[in-house]
Amino acid sequence: MSQTVARLLVDSLEAHDIDLIYCVPGESYLGLTNALVDNNRLRLIVCRHESGASFMAAADGRMRGGRAGVCIVSRGPGLSNGMIGLHTAYHDATPMVMLIGQVERRDFGRLALQEQNYSRLLSDITKLVIEVNEPETASEAIARAFHMAESGTPGPVAVILPEDLFEEQTEAPLDRPRPAALAGPRTADLEQLAGMLERAERPLVWVGGALREAAVPELGKLAERWMLPISPTHRRPHLFDADHANYGGYMGTRVPRELLDAMKRADLLVALGERLSDSVSQSYSFPTAPEPQLPLVHVWPDPNEVGRVFRPELGMACDPQAVIQALLGRGTPRGVDGRRAWVGGLNAIHNRLLEPVWDRTEDGVNFSAITAAVARHLAPDATVTSDAGNFSSFIHRHLRFRPGQMFLASIVGAMGSAMPMAVAAGLRRPGTQVIAFAGDGGALMTGNEIATARQYGVNPILIISDNAHYGTIMMHHDMRYPGRPSEAATKLTNPDFSLWAAAFGAEGITIREEREVEDGIARAFAVKDRPVVVHVHTSTDQISAWRRRTG
């Protein structure tokens, strides 16, 4: 049967279970938009900026349990705006497929309007760039893109579609999705791991983003039966129940000294679905790279990643959930009760660090008061999204994530992720609470996607910590160049974010003092029929949850 390439592409997307596609339209893919008009199962979400669309696709890739999120952007300027989402997905190992328009084939290489060579441009922020130049390979390209995005170390794949391709006729059949090829643990490796875990007196288990949320209940059982402390890593705090007695502390970026010192007494580290990024490894100091200072077991679903930076004692290139299941299948291990005190000690530090206490600040609200108030309103199925910035340290200081809740943010620290990710969460998890946190810097990078939220009936609460600065950078400047204020590089004059919210048809709430926090946050959670923006005038002195500028 002959049909247009555009229709075949749409059918191929549908065959891969795609239901939401984030986009900013462009003349370079009009043929595809035209084919999507006839399809009411693929929902196009039209965004205000390609960075928003790409962050939404990245967030969707984290919420679909290992399946890729999808966005479409126009060539040149469109893709340039959207690169931040590709970069985020690449570093965060998030499956994502981005379709990108391209100039007509006969114009390749002429520097035609908005032309870019994507294979060159995207070579270091995608797993693969697939240029589709023949109608017959269009469907195969989609199947390959999803397979590559979702297999091994997940990541973003770009599919390049020239403008003149869409209307061409093809008789090529639809290329069906390839089955996931997941490796299980090898028997000999499991034996070795079990032995190491039985012998260890002070083991640590860090869990990261290659472990799916579905594995969390089994992880709890493993922690109890094997008497293991479990630490979720940077930006994945929801991967273990913060109230569980085996919670070993959150292994975020810049771990508080007390917890880090305690963890450094460990005699075994098992990184379960955690890549051991710069942030998690505390700038490659724990574990030290390339030679870890303690025996390391690295479990990650891709042999190229295991051993790429660190030399593990044991490397396992397999699905981390399969390791948990295999260990559970071995019955009760011997002699592990002796480390109850070790686990209890880490858990006590974890609970101490999360105590809802803070000092009063004179120059604005201590943001601790905000995150502590939010913690009291969080529903069991809430999604919290975060931008990059120091305000996020307060999230991890006061929110105790429970199973069923979700946290979405960029591990690589891309500002602007919070609002788009909140839109994606509202669409993928309809009817649930969505709370986005951003600084005054990040809020205006992609905050306009609140218009997208309005358009599609998504009602997140965006909480903006306004300390009138790019605060993180001010802190780093203070630390590196004491006595040399960084105002010229970091000061911000901000709008009234409540009025800004109102212009979008959102509810605006302003909090200037700590005594207004309780009521302001309660009012925000009471609104159900539109987005809410809470504008918090935050202390600049309390520059992070753990640090004051005035010492």
Ligand X SMILES: Cc1ncc(C[n+]2csc(CCOP(=O)(O)OP(=O)(O)O)c2C)c(N)n1
Where do contacts with ligand X occur on this chain (CB under 6 A)? 387-391, 413-416, 439-442, 465, 467, 469-473
Phi, psi of 42 (to 5 degrees): -95, 115
- Find where tokens 């995150």 sit: 371
Residue 70, beta-bridge partner list: 97
Q: Least CB distance from residue 446 to ligand X, whole Å? A: 9
Residue 435, beta-bridge partner list: 384, 461
Question: Residue with CB nearest ligand X?
Answer: 439
281-304 b/e with 16+ CB inside 10 Å = b? Answer: bbebebbeeeebebbbbbbbbbee
- Find where tokens 């009471």 sit: 526
Q: Least CB distance from residue 382 to ligand X, whole Å? A: 21
Comparison of 85 and 295: residue with beta carbon closer to ligand X: 85
Q: Least CB distance from residue 407 to ligand X, whole Å? A: 17
User: What six digits make up the tokens of 367?
Assistant: 């943001």
Comparison of 56 and 207: residue with beta carbon closer to ligand X: 56
Contact 239, 210 (CB under 8 A): no
Q: Least CB distance from residue 68 to ligand X, whole Å? A: 23
CB-based contacts of 50: which residues, under 8 Å, 6+ apart?
Answer: 24, 71, 73, 74, 78, 79, 80, 81, 82, 85
Comparison of 254 and 523: residue with beta carbon closer to ligand X: 254
Comparison of 246 and 390: residue with beta carbon closer to ligand X: 390
Which amino acid belongs to residue 201?
Answer: E
User: Rounded CA gap, 434 and 423, in Å?
Assistant: 8
Q: Least CB distance from residue 471 to ligand X, whole Å? A: 2
Output the CA–CA distances (angstroms, integers) from residue 154 to 42, 93, 125, 358, in the order listed. 23, 5, 12, 39
Phi, psi of 370 (to 5 degrees): -70, -50
Q: Least CB distance from residue 44 to ligand X, whole Å? A: 26
Comparison of 33 and 544: residue with beta carbon closer to ligand X: 544
User: Rounded CA gap, 290 and 285, in Å?
Assistant: 10
Comparison of 382 and 464: residue with beta carbon closer to ligand X: 464
Q: Least CB distance from residue 85 to ligand X, whole Å? A: 11
* Other beta carbons within 10 Å of 326: 17
Q: Least CB distance from residue 535 to ligand X, whole Å? A: 13
Comparison of 61 and 441: residue with beta carbon closer to ligand X: 441
Count Cβ atoms within 10 A of the Cβ of residue 454 and give its class: 0-12 exposed, 13-18 middle, 19 or more buried: middle
Comparison of 22 and 55: residue with beta carbon closer to ligand X: 55
